[in-house]
Chain A
Amino acid sequence: MPSLIDLVLEGRTSRQHMPWPRTVVDASVWAFAANELAQGRWSLLGLWGEPSTAHMAIIDRDTTEIAVVSIDCPNRAYPSVSKHHPPALRLERTVNDLFGLSAEGLPDPRRWLDHNHWGIRFPLGDRIDALSIAAPYRFLPVEGDGVHQIAVGPVHAGIIEPGHFRFSASGETVVRLEQRLGYTHKGIEGLMRGASIERAAQLAGRVSGDSTVAYAYAFSRAVEAALQLVVPSRAVWLRALLAELERLANHLGDIGAICNDASFGLMQAHCNVLREDLLRAANSAFGHRLMRDVIIPGGLARDLDAKGQSAIRAALANVQARFPELIELYDNTASLQDRTVGTGTVAAAMARQYGAGGYVGRASGRVFDARRAPGYPPYDDLRFEVPVLEEGDVNARVWIRIREVEQSLSLANQILDRLPDGPLRVPVSAEAGPREGMALVEGFRGDIMVWLRLDGGQVDRCHLRDPSWFQWPLLEAAIENNIVADFPLCNKSFNCSYSGQDL
């Protein structure tokens, strides 16, 4: 069996791609890689386009080696990966929408992000004028006695992001859910083209508001990989502190919100108080409640002073003191367990096939955390566990989050105990010539991948892959045979990002 390294040796390897290799391959090697993905030895980390190239990032399941394979598309076409490996499907539809590169043999040629409202087609490739009237979007047919459709969105009943859900139900039971996303597509990758590194970092921090730290973190690490920058250790440690605070705030908010979707408001009331305490501490320590624009390429934009440090310590101690009784409340409320146990189950095989990151994957037996492997500093120097469960239901996703709250509390305290002194950033020098970099950072939702090519201090191309790309399709599978009324509960237990996937 060939390893990823063998694959890389098959092609022309790019010299400027850091830290993992990138290689340009021909159609047969590309198809071989697609087949290996389908066989399950490798997982897909991302698939994205350029005007005449398609790229795919792959990780070896056992060794966690990473490589990027690229294929030139002079005829604006490449062999479809999703034909063999369904997790690539929405990505290939997107590459077609944005670049006009078609995947030969694509099982579903419908558009994905392009809703025919842009006035143009292929905005990042060779642009052409769009037809004024496009064919209506055809949802997949569902047939059977008494099957009816329920259309929800894009404007939802709650205060959440926009997307469309098409349920086909038989009585109360969902026969099929089909998602249609793309409503929040802002063209961020288009705006990044030719942008300065500073502006691109600002945009990266606005891909998904709840993961603003994680995105800035991933983007900065990709820039630093491309330019071979060494970030001062104080910044390295503070970045991890920011990331853990973001994870804590999101997990606390979502644990409460999941319970609220099972009509148990008490839990949400208490969780939201803890979340608010953390955000206020973040505000006093870093000048922004969501800690936006604090991580920048080269280091950090601002330091943590003694006052900020004690605010964070106090907030962490507060969560530590009050969270155990909330866990007990969750565990001992039978009416709540009745809703969460056995609801919205994701099969382990599917989580593995889709390479689902975060609590969605870890609640279904997929042991993967980018902080652990491939890993990045300072996590290699910190003690933490990666909780994994097998059940794959709403309850398992809640428990993974509960355990991750405990781990993040411990990590944040370890970081504060050992925070090194020293400078906060290094200058980001504009090197001439193309340099490519890549990073994988564990956000609260899962692993965020950023790939970019810099040229003379500008971003030539940047691709940001949200963990939701490989989680949204699993939600479609998880809701099958559940009742319509349990959808909010399932949806919240996934809490996929709309803006992160629409970009």
Chain B
Amino acid sequence: MRKLLFQSFFQRPLTEQAPALDQTAVEELAAAIQRATRRRLGRSLSIREIDAGSCNGCELEIHALNNAYYDVERFGIRFVASPRHADVLLVTGPVTKNMRDALERTYHATPDPKWVIALGDCARDGGCFAGSYAVVGGVSQIVPVDLHIPGCPPPPVAILQGLLSLLDRAARSATST
């Protein structure tokens, strides 16, 4: 173990430059943040992830944000264990009818101000699962959505771009008040 730890003193960090902000995400957010409470977040976001019936593909890519290449915590973004500690709900999946109550209750357990991000193609409108007897079809059917990050699943860079856009807008709207 000592050898491995020692090596990491001399290796260059694997962590990469932050990606440029996604222009469409920035525009989509502009409206959302205007509506939202303009309270300073201190450039930090606490995220509660909710799988509302995804195939688990999105979760794999969210996990990847914590690896050394993306190192999401350097931006003040962290994943928390309870909705009570969260600023953002990151919701994946087409919202199955069996998860509908749990999603609603988690939303209500999250303190204001809060934002909801729908992640992945099926979180927008049910995607390829739309029309099933077991699926509501999109996160916005149940809770208000501020930002949508498309992809099946979206790669980590796309998720990071979306999250940074949210931080950027939140910080700017805070200083403008």
With contacts A183-B96, A272-B64, A279-B64 taken as known, whether A161 is within 8 angstroms of B54 at the C-beta atoms is yes
Inter-subunit contact B131/A117 (CB<8 Å): no
Do A290 and B153 have beta carbons less than 8 Å apart?
Answer: yes
Distance of A275 Cα from B59 Cα, bound (Å): 15
B1, B57, B79, B106: which contacts A209 (Cβ < 8 A)?
Answer: B57
A289 on interface, CB distance cutoff 8 Å: yes
Instruction: Collect the chain B residues with CB atoms within 8 Å of residue A1's CB.
Output: none
Instruction: Enumerate chain B residues within 8 angstroms of A289, measured Cβ to Cβ.
Output: 61, 155
* Interface size of A as a range: 35 or more
Stretch with Cβ within 8 A of B (4 or more), from A185-193, A392-400, A414-422: A185-193
Pick the contact of A187 from B3, B51, B135 — CB < 8 Å? B135
Q: A276-B64, A279-B64, A292-B152 are in contact. Are A191 and B131 (CB under 8 A)?
A: yes
Pair B55/A207 contact, Cβ less than 8 Å: yes
Which listed residue (B62, B96, B97) contacts A159, Cβ 8 A? B62
How many chain B residues sit at the interface, stated as a range, is 35 or more
Partner of A118, one of B97, B99, B101: B97
Q: Given A191-B132, A266-B5, verify A183-B53 contact (CB < 8 Å).
A: yes
Q: Mark B118-152, 1 if CB is under 8 A from A, else 0.
A: 00000000001101111100000000000000001
Task: Tell which of B4, B56, B63, B100 has the most Cβ of chain A within 10 Å.
Answer: B56
B152 cross-chain contacts in A, Cβ below 8 A? 206, 292
* Segment with Cβ contacts to B, from A309-317, A325-333, A401-409: A325-333
The listed residue (B52, B61, B94, B134) touching A123 by CB distance below 8 A is B134
A157 to B97, CA, bound (A): 21
A63 to B63 CA separation, bound complex (whole angstroms): 42
Check A497 for interface membership: any CB of B closer than 8 A: yes
* Distance of A426 from chain B, by nearest CB (Å): 25
Q: In the complex, which of the residues A185, A199, A292, A498 contacts B56, with contact meaning CB atoms closer than 8 Å?
A: A498
Which of chain B's residues has its CB closest to A273's CB? Answer: B68
B44 at the interface (CB under 8 A from A): no
Given the known inter-chain contacts A160-B59, A273-B69, A279-B64, please indicate yes or no for A184 contacting B133, CB distance below 8 A: no
- Tell me, in angstroms, the Cα distance from A265 to B134 when the chains sit together: 38
Set of chain B residues within 8 Å of A502, measured between Cβ atoms: 98
Q: Are B1 and A190 interface neighbours, CB within 8 A?
A: no
Question: Do B59 and A159 touch across chains, with their CB atoms under 8 A apart?
Answer: yes
Q: Could you tell me if A186 and B129 are in contact, using CB atoms closer than 8 angstroms?
A: yes
B87 contacts partner chain A, Cβ-Cβ < 8 Å: no
Q: CB-nearest residue of chain B relative to A332?
A: B1
Q: A186-B94, A191-B129, A203-B128 are in contact. Are A162 and B99 (CB under 8 A)?
A: yes
Interface bits A102-144 vs B (CB < 8 Å: 1, else 0): 0000000000010101111001000000000000000000000
Known: A272-B67, A272-B68. A212 touches B57 (CB 8 A): yes
Whether a CB of chain B sits under 8 angstroms from the CB of A182 is yes
**A162 — which chain B residues lie within 8 A by C-beta?**
50-53, 99, 102
CA distance A272 to B68 in the complex (A): 8
B37 within 8 A of A: no
Across the two chains, which residue of chain A brings its CB closest to B106? A155
Task: Tell me, in angstroms, the Cα distance from A118 to B58 when the chains sit together.
Answer: 25
Closest beta carbon of chain A to B39's beta carbon, Å? 25
B63: which A residues are within 8 A, CB to CB? 159, 253, 272
Most buried by B among A119, A155, A202, A325: A155
Binding site for B on A (CB under 8 A): 113, 115, 117-120, 123, 154-155, 157-162, 182-188, 190-191, 199, 202-203, 206-210, 212, 253, 266, 269-270, 272-273, 275-276, 279, 283, 289-290, 292, 325, 329, 332-333, 497-499, 502
Enumerate chain B interface residues (CB-CB to A < 8 A). Answer: 1, 3-5, 14, 49-64, 66-69, 79, 81-83, 93-94, 96-102, 106, 128-129, 131-135, 152-153, 155
